[in-house]
Amino acid sequence: MSLNTSNTPLCNRRIMLQALGLTVALPSMPAFADKNLARFSDGFVWGVAASAPQTESRAGRGRSNWDTFADTAGAIEDGSTNSLCTEFDQRYPDDLALLADAGIKAFRFSISWPRIQPDGPGTPNVAGLAFYDRLVDAMLERGIAPWPTIFHWDVPVWAGDFRNREIAQHLADYAAIVAGKLGDRVHNWIVLNEPNSVALQGYGTGVHAPGLRSAKAVFAAIHHQNLGQGLALQAMRAALPAGRRIGTTINVAPVRPEGDRVENEAAARLLDTMWNKAFLDPLYGKGYPSSLTPMLSSFVQGGDLAVIATKPDFLGVNYYTRIYARAAGTAFGVTRGEPPANLPRTAYFHVEPDGLIEVLMRLHDDYDAPDLFVTETGFALDDPPPLDGVVEDRERIGYLASYLSAAHAAQKQGARLKGLFYWSATDNWEWGKGFTKKFGLIHVDMISQKRTPKRSLAYYANCIRHNAVT
Ligand code: IFM
């Protein structure tokens, strides 16, 4: 089945998105008169996001779980590996210059754990820390606030995996080292990225590292990531100067039943519990959902839930699309179903801007109205090749406008939304999909490593200038 929507006329998509109650400006249309712009609150943080294992090369770091996975025949869709990615570790000055020119105010990147502790726990790699030192300084020099994520999925091989409880303390020790080194200049931190993706896709469906397919391993990975999150947050608070903010990021998705089969409704409730509530509920002091207790009880020790409930200063939300659930004879009784056929689709996910309002309001209503940042949202498209120094990605602009409008609508409805980071700064290595999915505001030719800005970067720059959806 083709996921390409490039044949859908822009005007049809605009009508469809307007039907969802969202204001959409497509690039071919004149911008709203200034007074009508949907403005965000003052101080709204406009950023871009990326991660070390998707952009940095392997040079100068230890081996990771994702190296092992990527080197396994057949694991990566296009047969690529992560050995070079976008060579961000060498080329970051060029990337930062393009982002600074566009007025990007914040860069969410991740620290590579195997670069800091290549061979084992304890003493860190001086050269690895020095690299992030330079990177942070390079951002600050260009007026870009660094927003590091401590753990964006790359585990050093020596640390094992999340079936084992010890990894939680290893993660906290590593987090404290990084916070101690960069905390004088870095004001905002994110501990984990999407522990739900790691648990379900890495330990359940096996499409991500470490490639396991085991229900028991999923529950171990849920609990040991939650525990590592709490321990790391405590260790970082102790290592950082006062006033620093530490959040954590979860990929929060509304889960809907596929079609109208009644058994899919229970499947959707179960998937919502595992995907969203297994992480959010204990983080906000509600403990684990009771339906999961039997599967988690062998992993939970006295005091764990109090550690996990260490409250972050903000919650990072990655939102791309809703998830559809279908009842199935799998170990979990549920599998991922198909979205309604009429939804527009990018080259990867389908497009549901109103789901972002749903997510942000749910977090506001159910989890103590936390400060929220959309730490990722973005669109993989089959972009045209660069022509005369630019990539004309008009479709991305339309989708981005609709998601920004949704974020704005949630802010108007009371969600304490403080910023948004587009995924991703550049095209990069999309895990098991290799280089086939291109999310960037900047095109990267993966052979020559040449960077070319896309039209969407200029669009995003314009939104930043007006602090509004334009
Ligand atoms: O590329 C990923 C990122 O690493 C985590 N969130 C989803 C993105 C797109 O699939």
Residue nearest to atom 2 of ligand 1 (CA): 430
pTM, two decimal places: 0.93
* Pocket flag, ligand 1, residue 349 (CB < 6 Å): no
* Pocket flag, ligand 1, residue 318 (CB < 6 Å): yes
Is domain 10-469 given the CATH code 1.20.58.1880 in the classification?
no
Average confidence (pLDDT) over 381-403:
98
Q: Is the pLDDT of residue 11 over 50?
A: no
Rounded to the nearest whole angstrom, what is the distance from the C-alpha of residue 351 to the centroid of ligand 1? 15
Give the nearest ligand 1 atom to 376 CA: 6
Q: How confident is the model at residue 36 (pLDDT cuts 50, 70, 90)?
A: confident
Residue nearest to atom 1 of ligand 1 (CA): 430
What pLDDT digit, counting tens, does each position of 44-83 carry?
Answer: 999 999 999 999 999 999 999 999 999 999 999 999 999 9
Q: List the structure tokens of 323.
A: 């998830």
Residue nearest to atom 10 of ligand 1 (CA): 430
Q: How confident is the model at residue 448 (pLDDT cuts 50, 70, 90)?
A: very high
**Residue position matching structure tokens 């200038």:** 465
Residue 358's pLDDT is: 98
Residue 16's pLDDT is: 35
Q: Is the pLDDT of residue 5 over 80?
A: no
Residue 34's pLDDT is: 62
Q: Is the pLDDT of residue 230 over 50?
A: yes
* Pocket flag, ligand 1, residue 304 (CB < 6 Å): no
**Residue position matching structure tokens 């990527």:** 70
What pLDDT digit, counting tens, does each position of 206-220 carry?
Answer: 999 999 999 999 999
Residue 332's pLDDT is: 86
Rounded to the nearest whole angstrom, what is the distance from the C-alpha of residue 429 to the centroid of ligand 1? 10
* Pocket flag, ligand 1, residue 427 (CB < 6 Å): no
**Enzyme catalytic residues:** 194, 376
Rounded to the nearest whole angstrom, what is the distance from the C-alpha of residue 430 to the centroid of ligand 1? 7
Give the helix/strand (H/E) hosting 114.
helix 113-116
Rounded to the nearest whole angstrom, what is the distance from the C-alpha of residue 279 to the centroid of ligand 1? 18
Average confidence (pLDDT) over 353-364:
98
Closest CA to 3 of 395, 357, 385: 395
Q: Is the pLDDT of residue 4 over 80?
A: no
What pLDDT digit, counting tens, does each position of 285-341 carry?
Answer: 999 999 999 999 999 999 999 999 999 999 999 999 999 999 999 888 999 999 999
Q: Which residues contact 13 (CB under 8 A, 6 or more apart)?
A: 5, 24, 26, 344, 398
State the Cα torsion 197-297-306-287 to the nearest 10°: 70
Q: Taking a C-beta distance cutoff of 8 angstroms, is the pair 40, 468 a contact?
A: yes
Average confidence (pLDDT) over 182-206:
98
Q: Taking a C-beta distance cutoff of 8 angstroms, is the pair 426, 50 a contact?
A: yes
Residue 330's pLDDT is: 86
Asked if omega into 2 is within 30° of 0 (cis), the reply is: no
C-beta neighbour count of 363 within 10 angstroms: 24
Give the nearest ligand 1 atom to 51 CA: 4
Residue nearest to atom 4 of ligand 1 (CA): 51
Residue nearest to atom 9 of ligand 1 (CA): 430
* Alpha-carbon gap, residue 201 to 151, rounded angstroms: 16
Closest CA to 314 of 187, 409, 179, 189: 189
Q: Is the pLDDT of residue 205 over 60?
A: yes
Residue 9's pLDDT is: 32
Q: List the structure tokens of 99.
A: 């982002």
What pLDDT digit, counting tens, does each position of 299-313 carry?
Answer: 999 999 999 999 999
pLDDT, the chain, mean? 93
Beta-bridge partner residues of 246 = 189
Residue 138's pLDDT is: 98
Rounded to the nearest whole angstrom, what is the distance from the C-alpha of residue 202 to the centroid of ligand 1? 13
